[in-house]
Amino acid sequence: MQTKEVRLRRIQQLAHEIMHEMNRGNEPRQFETLNLAVDNLSRALGDLADPSGNYSLDYIEEKLGKAHYLLFKNEKKIKLHS
C-alpha cells in the first residue's frame, strides 16, 4: 500500500493532466463525455471538501481516474494504488 502522500501526489498529477488537456482545446468533445467527467470530478472534490475531514482516498482516486479515462480515452484504466 502506498503512503497517503504518494497517493495525494498522484491525484494531484491526474488533476493537472486533466486541467492541461481541457485548456488545450484542440479538439471538440462530446457533451456526454464532458458531463460524465465533470460529474466524477465534482464528486471527488465534494468528498475531499468534507468539513469534518473524513474523506476516502480510494473514492477520490476512483472518481479522478474515471474522469481522466473519459478525457484521454486510455486503452486501459489507470492503476492508482496497489
Is the predicted pLDDT of residue 74 greater than 90, yes or no? no
Q: Work out the angle at residue 39's Cα, subtended by the Cα atoms of residues 64 and 55, and round it to the nearest 5 degrees.
A: 55
Q: Is residue 68 part of a domain?
A: yes
Looking at the 3D structure of the chain, how many domains does it have? 1
Q: Is residue 55 part of a domain?
A: yes
Q: Is residue 16 part of a domain?
A: yes
- For the segment 63-76, the average pLDDT, to the nearest whole number, is 81
Q: Is residue 11 part of a domain?
A: yes
Q: Is residue 10 part of a domain?
A: yes
Among 28-32, 54-58, 61-65, 68-72, the least confident range = 28-32
What confidence tens digit (pLDDT) does each residue in 1-58 have? Answer: 578 899 999 999 999 988 888 888 777 778 888 899 999 999 999 998 888 988 999 9
Question: Which one, of 23, 22, 67, lies nearest residue 44 by Cα?
Answer: 67
Q: How many Å apart are CA 44 and CA 64, to the nearest integer? A: 7
Q: Is residue 29 part of a domain?
A: yes
Q: Is residue 82 part of a domain?
A: no
42: containing domain: 4-72
